[in-house]
């Protein structure tokens, strides 16, 4: 064995050929399955790319390192599903670049935090976490409400994301700056925004009431409020149990 | 010694003088590496591991193929495991769950074991979902109602609580409690002086009609009758159909001092509670309604 290996080691061309073969095997094992990665993404209904405001919010989420303490992945374990809701699907983060799954839970998982609290609560909580959760060890992010949102680079960000597969249309990109404003103005006509991102996107007051336009706080809250709300699980999973056991007494108002 | 060839070794290969073991023939500054075979026990474990891996590929999902990954003969997935575990828990809670599904709230309250089950489950749901706003003991905070007292915005029967949990307050649900108080100051309905008078009247409400009414109180009474009484009731008794808080008691959602009342009349308040219809299961909605009702103020 050693004697025959000696031939290989002393012939550079032969060594090169066999080294390439060895490395190729490793490469094939790692790379080829990725060609089929689409088969692991569940077909779900309701998924949309983030609106420009939410996209800006995701960048703030990453900038402030929220993902260091908060995960965004509900594992298919009974206690997690009971606490946070339906387990996360691969499809739910297919437009995330980068993924913000996180790997640690110093704070709770945020994969389904959207709609769980009011905007006011988020505003109070980010401004001073102890004011709503006395035992919280989360830092304060009150400065976000004083920082105007940088929006000029959003069309570029969307264009970049489009090249890696997020289905932003030219219309989405052209209207990015309009949509950022529109999503924070509840009194204006939302038809353009809703045409592009769906009727579930409702313009609202996200909390910082800054007359100078949306702040970083608004963007972050807008991002948080959509987390986990897009996929319709009753369509994805026929066994989804949320509404199966309707109590006849409750529906008719049994107790008086 | 040097000429002795141990069993199974190449004849003619170089051997270490002291141990008699064949060397690899490599030399580093006079040191030579012995070519001992791997220990037998290690070799056996290694081979067993390889056989185990092959068995694993057959039983469990393992290899990617052009037609999707291999499913394994056991058909095991993390999702099916979750489903089986959930089924087991549902079975264990079976008697209680089936009662929860068929009984009315009144019947549940009359059944001590079922009532205890519902309250215990409701307490868990409350801690995870409601405590962030209403406090871990339901004590509430400024802007978030206390659930231990008997002052209810939308009613304190289990049915009312259950309905509020379902639709929320000013939430995205189409049936939500959507009433809004006008911002009397900001929209210019009332002048600051009128608001000041009305606040004087409202702060006094819980103490009844003063023995010697001040002119401000009398003016405030008129402002209240014309602007506030339609929702908050004659004398500030409140109106649960509209979610208009009772004003003639000592319980305040945002504060009962005059400055806060002026702020409230000027800018109005519109607290938001999310809808839980699409977040909590029916069972959990019912259990947490029963739990909140049991906190002390239930009607």
pLDDT digits (tens, 9 = 90+) for B115-139: 999 999 999 999 999 999 999 999 9
Domains B91-178+274-299 and B181-269 share a fold: yes
pLDDT at B11: 60
A115 touches chain B (CB under 8 A): yes
In contact, B202 and B236? CB cutoff 8 Å: yes
Torsion angle defined by CA atoms of residues A229, A235, A238 and A239, in that order, rounded to the nearest 10 degrees = 10
Task: Indicate the angle between helix axes A52-63 and A154-163, nearest 10 degrees.
Answer: 90
Look at the domain B91-178+274-299 and name its fold: Cytochrome Bc1 Complex; Chain D, domain 2 (1.10.760)
Name the burial class of residue B68, with classes exposed (0-12), middle (13-18) and buried (19+) by CB atoms within 10 angstroms of its CB. exposed
Chain B residue with minimum CA distance to A75? B78
Distance (Å) from the alpha carbon of B78 to chain A's nearest alpha carbon:
7
In contact, A180 and A151? CB cutoff 8 Å: yes
Residues facing residue A215 across a β-bridge: A148
In 3D space, the residue among A139, A120, A143, A119 whose CA is nearest the CA of residue A129 turns out to be A139
- Chain A residues closer than 8 Å to B172 by CB: 115, 202
Distances (CA, A) of B214 to A80, B201, B217, B219: 60, 10, 5, 9
User: What are the start-end ranges of the H helices in A96-135?
Assistant: 119-127, 129-132
Contact between chains at A249 and B133 (C-beta distance less than 8 A): no
| Tokens encoding B200 | 């004087």
Query: How many percent of chain A have pLDDT more than 90?
Result: 62
Contact between chains at A121 and B281 (C-beta distance less than 8 A): no
In angstroms and rounded to an integer, the radius of gyration of the C-alpha atoms of chain B is 38
Contacts of A147 (CB under 8 A, 6+ apart): A215, A216, A217
Mean pLDDT of A16-23: 95
> Domain extents for chain B?
91-178+274-299, 181-269
Q: With a CB-CB cutoff of 8 Å, which residues 120-139 of chain A face chain B?
A: 120-121, 125, 131-133
- Chain A residues closer than 8 Å to B111 by CB: none
Q: Which residue's entry shows tokens 């260091």?
A: A68
Smallest Cβ–Cβ distance between A115 and the set B25, B101, B274 belongs to B274
Query: Residue A39 has what DSSP assignment?
Result: G
Interface pTM, i.e. ipTM: 0.81
Mean pLDDT of B266-292: 92
- Chain B residues closer than 8 Å to A253 by CB: 159
Contacts of B189 (CB under 8 A, 6+ apart): B182, B227
DSSP characters for A171-201? HHHHTHHHHHHHHT-TTS--HHHHHHH-TT-
Q: Which residue's entry shows tokens 């509670």?
A: B273
Smallest Cβ–Cβ distance between A76 and the set B79, B143, B286 belongs to B79
Contact between chains at B104 and A33 (C-beta distance less than 8 A): no
Other residues' Cβ atoms within 10 Å of the Cβ of residue B69: 14
Interface test with B, best of A247, A248, A254, A256 (most B CBs within 10 A): A247
Q: Is the backbone peptide bond immediately before A98 cis, with ω within 30 degrees of 0?
A: yes
pLDDT at A249: 42
Contact between chains at B132 and A132 (C-beta distance less than 8 A): yes
In contact, B59 and B47? CB cutoff 8 Å: no
A245 touches chain B (CB under 8 A): yes
Contact between chains at B129 and A116 (C-beta distance less than 8 A): yes
What H or E segment, with its residue span, contains residue B23? strand B23-28
How does pLDDT run across B33-86, given as a tens digit for each residue?
888 888 999 999 999 999 999 999 999 998 877 777 888 898 888 888 998 998
Q: Beta B23-28 vs B31-34: how paired, if at all?
A: antiparallel
Smallest Cβ–Cβ distance between B279 and the set A33, A116, A247 belongs to A116
pLDDT at B196: 94
Return the minimum-mean-pLDDT range out of A89-93, B14-18, B229-233, B264-268.
B14-18
Q: Give the Cα separation of A56 and A58 in Å (integer).
A: 5
Chain B residue with minimum CA distance to A136? B132
How does pLDDT run across A181-235, given as a tens digit for each residue?
999 988 888 899 999 999 889 888 888 777 888 999 999 999 999 999 998 887 7
| pTM given for the model | 0.84
Q: Give the Cα separation of B54 and B293 in Å (integer).
A: 58
Q: For residue A1, is pLDDT > 80?
A: no
pLDDT at B278: 85
In 3D space, the residue among A105, A46, A94 whose CA is nearest the CA of residue A72 turns out to be A105
Contact between chains at A78 and B278 (C-beta distance less than 8 A): no
A45 touches chain B (CB under 8 A): no
Contact between chains at A116 and B274 (C-beta distance less than 8 A): yes
Contacts of B282 (CB under 8 A, 6+ apart): A242, A243, A244, A245, A246, A247, A250
Q: Give the Cα separation of A105 and A125 in Å (integer).
A: 18
Mean pLDDT computed over every residue of chain B: 89
pLDDT classification of B22: cutoffs 50, 70, 90: confident
- Print the SS3 string covering B136-201: CCCCCECCECCCCCCCCCCCCCHHHHHHHHHHCECCCCCCCECCCCCCCCCCCCCCHHHHHHHHHH
Smallest Cβ–Cβ distance between A256 and the set B101, B157, B278 belongs to B157
pLDDT classification of A111: cutoffs 50, 70, 90: very high
Interface test with A, best of B272, B288, B292, B294 (most A CBs within 10 A): B272
pLDDT at A242: 62
For the domain B181-269, what is the CATH code? 1.10.760.10
- Chain B residues closer than 8 Å to A76 by CB: 78-79, 81-82
């Amino acid at each position: 064995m050693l004697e025959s290996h000696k031939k290989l080691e002393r012939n550079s061309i032969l060594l090169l050929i066999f080294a390439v073969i060895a490395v190729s095997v490793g490469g094939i094992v790692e790379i080829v399955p990725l060609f089929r990665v689409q088969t692991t993404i569940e077909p779900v209904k309701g998924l949309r790319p983030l609106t420009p405001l939410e996209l800006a919010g995701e960048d703030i989420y990453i900038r402030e390192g929220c993902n260091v303490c908060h995960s965004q992945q509900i594992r298919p374990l009974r206690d997690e599903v009971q606490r946070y809701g339906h387990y996360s699907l691969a499809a739910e983060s297919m437009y995330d670049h980068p993924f913000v799954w996180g790997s640690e839970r110093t704070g709770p998982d945020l994969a389904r935090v959207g709609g769980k609290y009011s905007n006011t609560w988020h505003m109070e909580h980010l401004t001073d976490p102890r004011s709503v959760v006395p035992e919280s060890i989360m830092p304060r992010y009150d400065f976000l409400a004083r920082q105007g949102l940088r929006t000029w680079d959003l069309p570029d960000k969307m264009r970049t994301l489009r090249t890696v597969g997020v289905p932003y249309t030219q219309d989405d990109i052209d209207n990015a700056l309009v949509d950022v404003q529109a999503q924070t103005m509840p009194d204006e006509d939302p038809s353009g925004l809703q045409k592009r991102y769906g009727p579930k996107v409702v313009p609202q007051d996200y909390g910082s009431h800054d007359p100078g336009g949306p702040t970083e706080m608004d963007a972050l809250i807008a991002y948080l409020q959509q987390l986990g709300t897009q996929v319709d699980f009753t369509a994805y999973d026929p066994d989804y149990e949320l509404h199966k056991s309707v109590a006849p007494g409750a529906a008719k108002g049994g107790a008086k | 010694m040097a000429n002795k060839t141990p069993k199974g070794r190449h004849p003619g290969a170089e051997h270490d003088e002291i141990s008699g073991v064949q060397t690899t023939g490599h030399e580093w500054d006079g040191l030579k590496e012995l070519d001992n075979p791997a220990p037998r026990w290690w070799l056996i474990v290694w081979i067993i591991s390889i056989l185990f891996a092959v068995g694993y590929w057959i039983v469990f999902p393992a290899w990617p193929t052009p037609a999707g990954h291999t499913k394994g003969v056991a058909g095991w997935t993390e999702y099916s495991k979750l489903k089986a575990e959930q089924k087991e828990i549902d079975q264990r809670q079976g008697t209680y769950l089936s009662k929860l599904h068929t009984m009315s709230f009144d019947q549940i309250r009359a059944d001590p074991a079922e009532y205890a089950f519902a309250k215990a489950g409701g307490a868990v749901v409350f801690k995870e979902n409601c405590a962030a706003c209403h406090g871990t003991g339901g004590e509430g905070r400024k802007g978030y109602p206390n659930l231990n007292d008997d002052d209810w915005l939308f009613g304190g029967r289990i049915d009312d609580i259950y309905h509020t949990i379902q639709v929320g307050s000013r939430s995205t649900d189409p049936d939500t409690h959507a009433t809004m108080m006008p911002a009397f100051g900001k929209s210019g309905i009332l002048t600051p002086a009128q608001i000041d008078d009305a606040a004087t009247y409202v702060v006094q409400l819980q103490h009844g009609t003063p023995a010697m009414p001040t002119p401000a109180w009398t003016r405030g009474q008129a402002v209240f009758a014309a602007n506030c009484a339609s929702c908050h009731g004659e004398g500030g008794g409140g109106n649960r159909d509209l979610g208009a808080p009772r004003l003639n008691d000592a319980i305040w959602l945002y504060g009962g001092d005059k400055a806060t009342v002026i702020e409230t009349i000027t800018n109005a308040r519109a607290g938001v509670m999310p809808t839980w219809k699409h977040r909590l299961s029916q069972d959990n909605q019912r259990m947490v309604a029963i739990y909140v009702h049991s906190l002390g103020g239930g009607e």
